[in-house]
Amino acid sequence: MTLIGWIQIAVYCGIIILLVKPLGGYMTRVYNGDRTLLSPVIGPIERVLYRLAGTDEKEEQHWTAYAAAMLFFNLAGFIALYFLQRFQGALPFNPAGMGEVGPELAFNTAASFVSNTNWQSYGGESTMSYLTQMAGLTVQNFVSAATGIAVAMAVIRAFSRKSVKTLGNFWTDLVRTIFYVLLPICIIGTLVLVWQGVPQNLNPYTAAVTLEGAQQTIAQGPVASQMMIKHLGTNGGGFFNVNAAHPFENPTALTNLIHMVSIFAIGAALTNVFGRMVGNQRQGWAIFATMGVLFLIGVAVCYWAEAAGNPLIHALGIEGGNMEGKETRFGVVLSSLFAVITTAASCGAVIAMHDSFLPLGGMIPMINMMLGEIIIGGVGAGFYGIILFVVIAIFVAGLMVGRTPEYLGKKIEAKEVKMAMLAILCLPLAMLGFTAVTAVLPAGVSSLWNAGPHGFGEILYAYTSAAANNGSAFAGLSANTPWYNITLGTAMLMGRFLIIIPALAIAGSLVSKKTVPASGGTLPTDGTLFVGLLLGVILIVGGLTFFPALALGPIVEHFAMLAGQTF
């Protein structure tokens, strides 16, 4: 580890902190329906869309109606994306002549992009046509991100309102997220990426002859527009197979910084939106601080592990950090930082191959995902994910002092705790359940490239990534098989919608409750005591749930490496 490395990490963290308040303030005005700088331009478009859709922006929905609208919208997107892939061979904007996508892979990809996971069991430049990339994948990058943010806003309203039955209007939240938040930032960001050298065209692939006389096909296409939303919306799916490690996706140091900042920007700002809407920004900062502590611990461990290097390589007289699977233009520090960012925020974009990280370095991305999209998390999903742990933490605090637990004046009762536990338990069910079955089935182990604990880690990482809606992978797993495509796709849908529904149910219950005035026995939830309590609950729940699986994978692999054993 170096001083320059820590300065790079500190600069990144400083940029994120500086963005929290201004972006949070802007988003608060958007979702409150207040006038913004973009209102004169977007307002008329917004009203036309509402009329065409037959909805009234002022008509609010009960949580069940909000959930139904969200589910039907995402079901329609899933069906459209599935059939777009199945018939892409007969559709236009296909200069490379890509054929139809098989049914299992089409199911996996549709589930992946609708759930904001963007797991890719295919190579983008060799499988998907320009039309599928633009009208299918890029569109889902926008609407899946907007769905997560809309749900987060519904949960925020549950705490900012009292004695009402409604959480807002899903269609209004969706439209405002896309047109006021995502599109403006993406338009500017895309132009900057094009300026930096990221392709944005509809040209056919270029055939070239190398200096050695070999034939080479250079893929290109509408790359920049997908890159911006894939990071801002914490989607992560690459236009190219090697994702953001490809020089067309990430050509310069500036584009790499834009990608990293975009991944955290909205998720971090939503904590400030929460604080503003409940009337106490310190509440938002407390949640942000909890996320920040977990993030910094992950960065420190991952950077230390990768910078220390492999002792088996050192024994050969080769010193330095672990550069396997990393590009020299990013190096150890940025590769480690990006890996923690992308798994903390449920993005899944990569600039280095996580499969080549050392055991403890690769374990940190796994832990980030296992905790369930709460360290910044996917846009929106990170906020309502950590609120589930807030409910549990408040409940535990209430048990310790012998009084009814309260959060922001709302009593946390049996229904809210049950719904929170149901949502939290869905993730290990998908992550560990599918891992256990796959690890003993020929259809599962036949796809492994590595034996021993690392091979187990590849399976564990895959289902953890799918259920956490992350999408990154240990690349030593050949996942484009019927078994993996179907089971991973199922895990993605479980990790998305079996979390959203209980979260909305909690919101629907809380929004109808009266606010109880704070008293001498009320636990302050805007200070270090609450941050410590929340951190403790998260780490204890995560440790008890996932430590045995981690012990069978990266932990035992680390000790085997120290003993000189390879697999």
Per-residue pLDDT reduced to its tens digit, 486-508: 999 999 999 999 999 999 999 99
Q: What is the pLDDT of residue 210?
A: 84
* Residue 366 pLDDT > 90: yes
Distance CA(73)–CA(143), nearest Å, equals: 9
Residue type, 219: A
Residue 168 sits at the vertex; the CA angle it makes with 167 and 170, to the nearest 5 degrees, is 110
Distance CA(313)–CA(321), nearest Å, equals: 10
Token pair 């296909």 is found at 94
| pTM for the whole structure | 0.93
Torsion angle of C-alpha atoms 152, 155, 161, 165, degrees rounded to 10: 120
Q: Which residues pair with 218 in a beta bridge?
A: 206
Q: What is the pLDDT of residue 385?
A: 92
Distance CA(269)–CA(201), nearest Å, equals: 32
Q: Which residues pair with 190 in a beta bridge?
A: none
Q: What is the pLDDT of residue 254?
A: 95
Among 405, 391, 393, 387, smallest CA distance to 521 is for: 405
Average pLDDT over residues 448-468: 92
* Residue 12 pLDDT > 90: yes
- Mean per-residue pLDDT of the chain: 92
126-156 per-position pLDDT tens digit: 888 999 989 999 999 999 999 999 999 999 9
Instruction: Report residue 212's pLDDT band, with 50, 70 and 90 as the boundaries.
Output: confident
| Total residue length of the chain | 567
Q: What is the pLDDT of residue 58?
A: 85
Token pair listed for 305: 């592990």
Q: What is the pLDDT of residue 122?
A: 87
Q: Which residues pair with 217 in a beta bridge?
A: 207
The three-state DSSP-derived secondary structure of 33-61 is CCCCCCHHHHHHHHHHHHHHHCCCCCCCC
Instruction: Report residue 317's pLDDT band, with 50, 70 and 90 as the boundaries.
Output: confident
* Residue 469 pLDDT > 90: yes
